[in-house]
Homo-oligomer: A and B are copies of this chain.
């Protein structure tokens, strides 16, 4: 294992500290360094809070700022933040208009955010709603267990809900807007090389020179299947056709197309995939009216990509287009 780090145990903390050092015009540590928050909160708006394990940077801390998140909590690598961390973010960010928690659908995250919400609500002083993002179509809807995972599509939900919160919408409206964004969003990922967890010094799965892992999540878990490596057009068609099947859009449907790097994939390759995916959807009668390409939701150093599609209507488009000023997204 080779990483730019001081120590396997300190990577998450050192990385978060470096992030705050780089962006202290936008963000600051919360009390006790339990979370990272906007430097200046907007009075009167609903607080939007997200979080998850470390190793997904810039998700979620890179999305803190005007038009997106108010605070984010980061746990150890691939490990949920504790209820105590989440509670501290709720207490610091809530200024009376309530709190919307955005949670990726993983057992640990869901449990700890739920626990924190209960602790905060039981004091009687916080109104809280929760959105569970489950955009990953690599997991069957009908599967036993917890259902589909939340992956890169969480960025889309956070952007859209964050814009609506900034526009002054109330907690109930934000919950509904978030549910609409989740219902409109699907993601699938492929890896050419697994992630190496610093503490174990091993890749979480090891691929042969001619293999790829299809349907990967972002916590190093194996994907849905291991297949022979294919060219970019074949991989794109495989992912995009499954997304299409799942979303079943109408003809001329407008979409947001988001190609995400999983950490070890260079921009040159992300652009190859974007070009192919855009053409794929346009040839099938969809209108790629909004796009995003970059490394936003990572799985440490995993060499891989994911493709996310969100079906856009006028309301979601306006919210996507609204100004955002964070470390990772800015327009």
Contact = CB atoms under 8 A, between A and B. Distances in A.
Given A18-B271, A229-B2, A266-B295, A301 B303 contact: yes
Given A6-B272, A22-B293, A272-B4, A301 B265 contact: yes
A15 interface: yes
Contacts of A4: 192, 232, 235, 265, 269-270, 272-273, 305
Contact of A57 (B266, B276, B279): B266
Contact of A300 (B232, B266, B276, B305): B266
A162 interface: no
A3 B295 contact: no
A58 interface: yes
A173 interface: no
A263 B264 CA distance: 7
A301 B264 contact: yes
A7 B263 contact: no
A193 interface: yes
Contact of A268 (B57, B212, B233, B235): B57
Given A4-B235, A22-B293, A54-B268, 12 more contacts: A3-B269, A4-B232, A5-B272, A11-B268, A15-B269, A18-B274, A18-B276, A22-B274, A22-B275, A263-B268, A264-B265, A268-B298
